[in-house]
Chains A and B, each alone.
Chain A
């Protein structure tokens, strides 16, 4: 069965600092990997996804993630945090069959001035 582990339920950074949110997955087949963002009282919005091809994926709002098969990781990064990045971030994995997503437990990003 597929699973996703997100290390750290809360991550705090200062405005302008590097953002690093960690995601490790378990899958018996090559996975599809996703990062979603959830702002307060809203639904989830896709930040980026990895399907095939280039392992460094760029998404919206300056975020990017790198698929590392050897480390079974798909960490999310942003060079410089903005106050508007404060939200909850979810990593998700699906297999190459029917599109069912398995989500991690989420990481809440706190950005201080």
Chain B
């Protein structure tokens, strides 16, 4: 298994509070991604990073921000959580831009916003 950990694994929070999810990798991979998984939608890309301090928006970035100050860590922040952000969040990593580069996924964080 790729060395990817996510923390926390489960979180319950209240509407309006800030929340930060952490993804940590031990593979020294350049690319990191945050997805959310919702029934009927599959996985949708929130933000991704192609290097330290280099990030860009994905398909569903509104209400989310990210930071990457070290190769191994990619943080996802919900500035003011809303009930629509209740979801399972997955981090993924990949080594580069070789054709068909595989993305490896972490175990996920289950977030409930009350």
Contact = CB atoms under 8 A, between A and B. Distances in A.
Contacts, number: 55
Interface residues of A, number: 26
Q: Count chain A CB atoms within 10 A of each CB in B42, B48, B97 and give the residue with the most.
A: B42
Interface string A43-60: 111100111100000000
Interface in A88-108: 90, 94, 96, 98-101, 103-106
B43 A90 contact: yes
By size class, the interface of chain B is 20 to 34
B40 A44 contact: no
Contacts of B45: 100-101
Contact of B50 (A98, A103, A106): A98
Interface in B18-63: 31, 40-45, 48, 50, 58
A103 B100 contact: no
Contacts of A105: 40-42
Given A43-B90, A99-B31, A100-B48, A52 B40 contact: no
Given A43-B106, A44-B90, A103 B42 contact: yes
Interface of A: 4, 9, 32, 34, 36, 41-46, 49-52, 90, 94, 96, 98-101, 103-106
